[in-house]
């Protein structure tokens, strides 16, 4: 959380009241929503990653690995990715809602808990829907969840507009409050309404239900694109007098940076500890087993689980360092937008896949012939998780004046360093992947080398970047010593100190 | 998180720099530690509750319930409680450390990740130690973990004192910085040193190892008590010139309120979702099973798991509402102390036991004769979790001028309401427990009634409190109408509005 780090008035989406007003507010039972929001973020991030568990716990023994297991695994991975995206959509809707509702009271806190409880049920109903695509019950339950969530959110909107001091001050003081209310209620209820129709159709023609449910996710973007096309064809319309900053579904719509951080922290924390959950539960050997099978030697009994421990350390280190890169990145971001949020979601979805990769690498000892494939899958997942982080950085650079701290912009002191930090994992995983192609015999060794080397690379990075820049300066100095000043102007990648 | 809610200069433990200095800091690679600390809190809260999983997953069928299973269950519960306390001790040490170190740079962030990784390994080594109490390896591994954690923390202290701008401004500007450093290093390294000796003794006389390890936890309190006794006997000594506010192990030592909230949020979030993790993983029926066993009826297949879903909703609602009470309580707390932290830990340890209680109540359908016992265990756990929350409130009231917001103090407008909020769960669980004694046949019905009634009671609480107070006023008005003003002065429980 970076509560004290977002003090610029322009970016105050949450509507923090000045300090002096706090005691009065508390006395009226009105509270700032920060803690409730981070609790919600923690819940949602756990729920988003929960469907990776059936994937990692799919038992694969070399003999049994036939088409049915392969199909099961593929289905479970698809379910995981879809659930992650669905929960993220719910999270985004929640974020949008509480950018409008700035403060809470007890009723809103309890309504929010009800909303959370329904959202935590989404993964199960979705998984049911996928396992039994032709049975109406799965579709029906899923739609019921969406409808309940929508209804509770609508209640929150109605309640907050009824007590306007709970609203974002920008909306509270607006003259078009009733219009805002109508607009927001329309958007909040659009999805549930479609799901209501879908639940009805599930009883006699279920393919239409799926089409309707897909529309829930894509509708805002379709309507956005169509209005953009219309604007292009007919000519730019005048924006309505009560143009909104919220619920526009625009890619530049601001997103609460605090909440992106809290949600990401939750995902990283749960993913980092997923493997230790398994280790703590299953890998303490049974005293009777130790006596009978290992002649009382605990060391021998534990060494059976050796690969699991290695995998755990590898997984924790990678997730930890990806968190570190994410943390460094968001330290330099002043304002988060919806497009950055989208890229962040994709990155997190792959981070959630890491336990899968490591479970595979921990299976090395048992199936040496699958080793190469496992290492490649791990490298690919790490690459994808880190490249989407890098994409957030590039997206931020496109509007750097608005989105980045001055020191991280082109030519800023931290720019080159930040660039190197975010490029480290994509480069390392790509390198490891490429070298497994040439030196397939040493693929495990290469992978473990990468795991050990990267943390030290992060420590040495500042030194390495300085050295690289000095080298670059020196080289340029040799080739064109006269145009030094001009060269600096053309190379915004280099910090001013160079 | 309540970042923007702790702005009073006297309570600024984390050493927030003024807003203007932020950009410069970021440019030097120095960062505020807020987000890193909440990430650490999330990790530690997950790790603290992880050992409840082996407890909840212990298979108990009515036939097999013999002494060996009972002993296994008791061991696992003991391991869970001890692990929870050990991780909380590690968390408290971490909190103390980062009250001294106010800002971080990349090196400190990476060192902290290393520290976290070692802490996440503690539950496993502890569980190993308990399962094989006579094998030196378990003790040895546990001690190694503690030594590593201590070494990393000492490194953090040395590093931070080497770059004093990373320190808490209060210490940074102190003339006795070197003394502080020595004092803190001594305390940080005391535990690991004892563990080092314990690891040595584990090879030839292990009972001594356990004694030494127990000392690690109790040493600060023993030394505190002995110095207090000495002070009583010899007379009060003059405090040394460099008297510290940190690392005193005094019960009134301030504790970062933000971190208590973040750690509690993590525990509540993971406990609330623990049951859904099981449901998502195991309770999606297999399509083949549905065809063969249930003649293709998904509803019949799901109804087998009915009690699980009921248990999930009950568990989520209870955890959610306990979180809500905690949230309301900490909203009115201005400053947290170590004694409040201790009570909070005890409350959280019982909250962590809730999934166990609900797994038991979800087993109703299978073993109707154990129903009464399960309901009573559930009631007892809920009672203990909520009564410790209530104890935090009473502790805060003892020093209300320092620890509470004015509105929550005796006579404040929110006092009676807060009192009722925190008393609701202890009363409800006690009532349910008592009624199972008289109406043992309806125990399940009573329990479910309590689950349904309590959320509505929270909603209606404000109304109920008003009504109760009005009633009280009216009654007093009838009995002694003349001494109304005097009566008010003697009844600080009543708000001024009455």
Tell me the C-alpha distance between B300 and B309, whole Å.
14
Predicted local distance difference test score (pLDDT) of residue B251: 60
Question: Does residue A276 belong to the interface with chain B, where contact is any CB pair within 8 Å?
Answer: yes
Decide if B329 contacts B393 (C-beta within 8 A).
yes
Question: Does residue A373 belong to the interface with chain B, where contact is any CB pair within 8 Å?
Answer: no
Contact B34 A1 (CB under 8 A): yes
Nearest Cα of chain A lies from the Cα of B204 at a distance, in angstroms, of 17
Question: Does residue A330 belong to the interface with chain B, where contact is any CB pair within 8 Å?
Answer: yes
Contact B412 A3 (CB under 8 A): no
Contact A330 B35 (CB under 8 A): yes
Beta bridge partners of B337: B254
Question: Does residue A298 belong to the interface with chain B, where contact is any CB pair within 8 Å?
Answer: yes
Residue A239: how many CB atoms within 10 A of its CB? 8
Question: Does residue A270 belong to the interface with chain B, where contact is any CB pair within 8 Å?
Answer: yes
> In the 8-state DSSP scheme, what is residue A239?
P
**Which residue in A476, A4, A31, A172 sits closest to B31, CA to CA?**
A4
For residue A32, the chain B residues in CB contact (below 8 A) are: 2, 4-5
Contact A265 B42 (CB under 8 A): yes
Q: Which of residues 30-49 of A touch B (CB under 8 A)?
A: 31-32, 34-36, 38-39, 42-43, 46-47
Q: Which of residues 390-409 of B touch A (CB under 8 A)?
A: 405-408
Contact B290 A22 (CB under 8 A): no
Tokens of A288: 């009777």
Question: Does residue B318 belong to the interface with chain A, where contact is any CB pair within 8 Å?
Answer: no
Predicted local distance difference test score (pLDDT) of residue A363: 58
Contact B265 A414 (CB under 8 A): no
Question: Does residue A75 belong to the interface with chain B, where contact is any CB pair within 8 Å?
Answer: no
Beta bridge partners of B31: B104
Does the complex come out with an ipTM higher than 0.85? no
Tell me the C-alpha distance between A376 and B258, whole Å.
42
Nearest chain B residue to A406 by CA: give it. Answer: B23
Contact B132 A39 (CB under 8 A): no
Predicted local distance difference test score (pLDDT) of residue B426: 92
For residue B330, the chain A residues in CB contact (below 8 A) are: 35
Contact B106 A280 (CB under 8 A): no
**Coil, strand, or helix at residue B177?**
helix
CB neighbours of B373 closer than 8 A, spacing ≥ 6?
none
Tell me the C-alpha distance between B195 and B145, whole Å.
9
Per DSSP (E only), the strands in B222-339 are 254-255, 336-337
Question: Does residue A294 belong to the interface with chain B, where contact is any CB pair within 8 Å?
Answer: no
pLDDT tens digits along A125-173: 888 888 888 788 888 888 999 999 999 999 999 999 998 888 888 888 8
Predicted local distance difference test score (pLDDT) of residue A1: 37
Pick A413's closest partner by Cβ from B27, B36, B265.
B27
CA B99 to chain centre: 19
Decide if A50 contacts B270 (C-beta within 8 A).
no
Q: Which residues of chain A have pLDDT under 70?
A: 1-29, 59-67, 235-252, 360-370, 480-498
pLDDT tens digits along B105-162: 888 899 999 999 999 888 888 888 888 887 888 888 889 999 999 999 999 999 999 9
Q: Which residues of chain B have pLDDT under 70?
A: 1-29, 59-67, 235-252, 360-370, 480-498
Tokens of B446: 């009573």
Predicted local distance difference test score (pLDDT) of residue B310: 78
């Amino acid at each position: 959380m970076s509560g004290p780090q977002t003090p610029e008035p322009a970016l105050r989406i949450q509507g923090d009241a000045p300090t002096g007003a706090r005691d009065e507010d508390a006395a009226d039972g009105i509270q700032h929503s920060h803690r409730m929001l981070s609790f919600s973020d923690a819940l949602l991030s756990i729920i988003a990653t929960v469907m990776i568990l059936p994937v990692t716990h799919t038992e694969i023994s070399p003999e049994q690995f036939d088409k049915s297991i392969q199909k099961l695994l593929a289905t479970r991975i698809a379910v995981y990715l879809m659930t992650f995206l669905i929960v993220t959509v719910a999270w985004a809707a929640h974020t949008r809602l509480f950018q409008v509702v700035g403060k809470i009271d007890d009723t809103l806190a309890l309504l929010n808990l009800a909303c959370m409880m329904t959202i935590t049920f989404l993964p199960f109903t979705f998984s049911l829907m996928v396992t039994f695509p032709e049975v109406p019950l799965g579709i029906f339950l899923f739609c019921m969840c969406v409808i309940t969530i929508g209804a509770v959110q609508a209640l929150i909107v109605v309640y907050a507009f009824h007590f306007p001091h709970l609203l974002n001050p920008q909306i509270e003081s607006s003259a078009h409050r009733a219009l805002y209310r109508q607009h927001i209620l329309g958007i909040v209820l659009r999805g549930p309404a479609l799901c209501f129709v879908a639940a009805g159709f599930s009883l006699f023609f279920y393919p239409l239900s799926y089409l309707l449910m897909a529309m829930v996710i894509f509708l805002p973007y379709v309507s956005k694109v169509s209005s953009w096309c219309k604007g292009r064809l007919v000519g730019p319309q005048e924006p309505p007098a009560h143009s909104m900053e919220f619920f526009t579904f625009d890619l530049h719509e601001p997103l609460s940076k605090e909440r992106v951080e809290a949600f990401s922290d939750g995902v990283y924390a749960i993913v980092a500890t997923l493997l230790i959950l398994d280790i703590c539960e299953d890998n303490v050997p049974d005293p009777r087993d130790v006596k009978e099978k290992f002649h009382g030697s605990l060391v021998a009994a534990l060494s059976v689980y050796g690969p699991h421990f290695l995998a755990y350390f590898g997984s924790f280190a990678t997730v930890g360092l990806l968190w570190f890169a994410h943390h460094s990145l968001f330290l330099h971001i002043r304002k988060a937008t919806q497009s950055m949020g989208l890229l962040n979601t994709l990155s997190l979805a792959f981070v959630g896949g890491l336990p899968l990769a490591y479970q595979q690498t921990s299976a090395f000892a048992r199936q040496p012939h699958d080793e190469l494939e496992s290492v490649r899958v791990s490298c690919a997942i790490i690459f994808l998780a880190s490249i989407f982080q890098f994409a957030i950085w590039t997206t931020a650079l496109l509007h750097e004046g608005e989105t980045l701290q001055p020191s991280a912009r082109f030519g800023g002191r931290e720019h080159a360093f930040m660039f190197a930090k975010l490029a480290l994992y994509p480069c390392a995983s790509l390198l490891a992947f490429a070298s497994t192609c040439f030196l397939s015999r040493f693929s495990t060794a290469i992978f473990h080398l990468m795991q050990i080397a990267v943390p030290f690379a992060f420590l040495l990075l500042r030194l390495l970047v300085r050295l690289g820049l000095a080298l670059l300066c020196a080289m340029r100095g040799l080739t064109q010593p006269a145009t030094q000043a001009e060269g600096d102007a053309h190379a915004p990648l280099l910090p001013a100190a160079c």
